[in-house]
Amino acid sequence: MQPPSIAIVGATGAVGRECLSILQQRNFKHAEGPDGIKLLASSRSAGTTIPYRGQQLPVEELGPNSFRGVKLAFFAAGADTVRAFAPIAVASGCTVIDKSSAYRADPNTPLVIPEVNPEALATLRGKSGIAAVPNCSTIILLIPLTPIRKAFGIDRIVVSTYQAASGAGAAAMEELESQTRDVLAGKSAQPRIFKEPCAFNVFSHDSAMNPTTGQNSEEQKFTTESRKIWNDPTVKVNATCIRVPVMRGHSESVCLTLTQPATESQFRAVLAGAPGLTLIDDRSNNSFPTPLKVSGGDNVLVGRIRPDDTQEVVAGDAGAAYRGWNLWICGDQLRTGAALTAVKIAELLQREDGHR
């Protein structure tokens, strides 16, 4: 079968540009010629160009006729845009891979992390439809936690996030840069994208707050998305999400309660052989994951692996086994948390449909 014609919706945004870069880096197979790949965005960006594989690709205005002949579309746009145009794309025979929140909770839409639940794509085999990419923080959390859960079970997850400006898009990244310049020049930071100054500051995540529960929507996503991806309605997640003055790369402090206690050698062995992650855990040199170390990389970095002796400890012939464990993890929000996961989903679909 011939490779498909593809499109990127939101091609001029941070995730859209990252998606285009990853397609080039991974030599993703798509149709050749002027109709092989379409870059779609708002009318403000129409007529500009973006470099790709040695040429300048024009950006077209997104419209109802944009998906004629397109078989695969990456949506890197807001939820409202996705709700308006994804059904049009599907009706034209296109498979949509959506990074927004528009369809994540839809029971008929697979929510997929390729390293975690690739089997969820079975519903799209050989036909058009929508595959949803989870929230960036959920992806970064579940890539290392899934092998732990398979080996020992997980009763409870407590996670605190330290989320970069990149999570709010290109304009937020520009705001952090401009505010940093202003503050260093003795001026006051002027918030536009965020409600609070982001330079030299830390504040609660800027998503909508539930006035009854006190959770913001970013924190709630950890529970709803983890339950769907793991197909387990009993998963318990206690999340606190914070925005920090980092350009790209989210960090998460994680405290686990396992179903079955594990020794340190057992716990580390499970992580060492898992896909999509790299261990950086050098206690002697105090070297551990950081947002800078993960920036531009494909794997989630895992470190600060240590038992939580405030929880149950079981003595055994192989040494002490602990139900409680602590981790520090970092992932590139624009890559692992967004564009790379979308491209990996597309690669899985290509293999299943016979495209090489």
Q: What is the pLDDT of residues 135-171, one digit of tens each?
A: 999 999 999 999 999 999 999 999 999 999 998 988 9
Same domain, 160 and 106: no
Per-residue pLDDT band for 356 (boundaries 50, 70, 90) equals very low
Q: Active-site residue 136, yes or no?
A: yes
Q: Active-site residue 250, yes or no?
A: yes
Q: Taking residues 50-56, what's their average pLDDT? A: 92
Q: Is residue 68 part of a domain?
A: yes
Residue 1: per-residue pLDDT:
64
Q: Is residue 80 part of a domain?
A: yes
Q: Is residue 240 part of a domain?
A: yes
Q: Is residue 273 part of a domain?
A: yes
Given 19, 30, 205, 250, which residue is catalytic? 250
Query: Which single residue is written with the structure tokens 């139900």?
Result: 323
Question: Is 335:22 a contact under the CB 8 Å cutoff?
Answer: yes
Same domain, 214 and 312: yes
Same domain, 183 and 216: yes
Q: Is residue 1 part of a domain?
A: no
Same domain, 310 and 260: yes
- Nearest CA to 26 out of 129, 140, 114, 90 is that of 114
Residue 319: per-residue pLDDT:
87
Same domain, 324 and 190: yes
Structural domains counted in the chain: 2
Same domain, 226 and 257: yes
Same domain, 92 and 170: no
- Whole-structure pTM value: 0.94
User: What residue numbers bound the domain in which 13 lies?
Assistant: 6-135+338-353
Q: Is residue 347 part of a domain?
A: yes
Same domain, 180 and 155: yes
Same domain, 153 and 301: yes
Same domain, 237 and 317: yes
Same domain, 229 and 312: yes
Per-residue pLDDT band for 355 (boundaries 50, 70, 90) equals very low
Q: Is residue 277 part of a domain?
A: yes
Per-residue pLDDT band for 322 (boundaries 50, 70, 90) equals very high
Residue 353: per-residue pLDDT:
63
Same domain, 210 and 125: no
CATH at residue 125 = 3.40.50.720
Quote the mean pLDDT of the chain: 94
Percentage of the chain lying above the pLDDT 70 cut: 98
Residue 106: per-residue pLDDT:
95
Q: Is residue 20 part of a domain?
A: yes
Per-residue pLDDT band for 132 (boundaries 50, 70, 90) equals very high
Given 19, 30, 94, 136, which residue is catalytic? 136
Residue 35: per-residue pLDDT:
79
Listed as own residue / partner, the contacts of 23-27 with beta carbons closer than 8 Å and 24 or more positions apart are 23/52, 23/343, 24/52, 24/53, 26/343, 26/347
CATH at residue 275 = 3.30.360.10
How does pLDDT run across 234-276, given as a tens digit for each residue?
Answer: 999 999 999 999 999 999 999 999 999 999 999 999 999 899 9
How does pLDDT run across 169-220, given as a tens digit for each residue?
Answer: 889 999 999 999 999 999 999 999 999 999 999 999 999 999 999 999 999 9
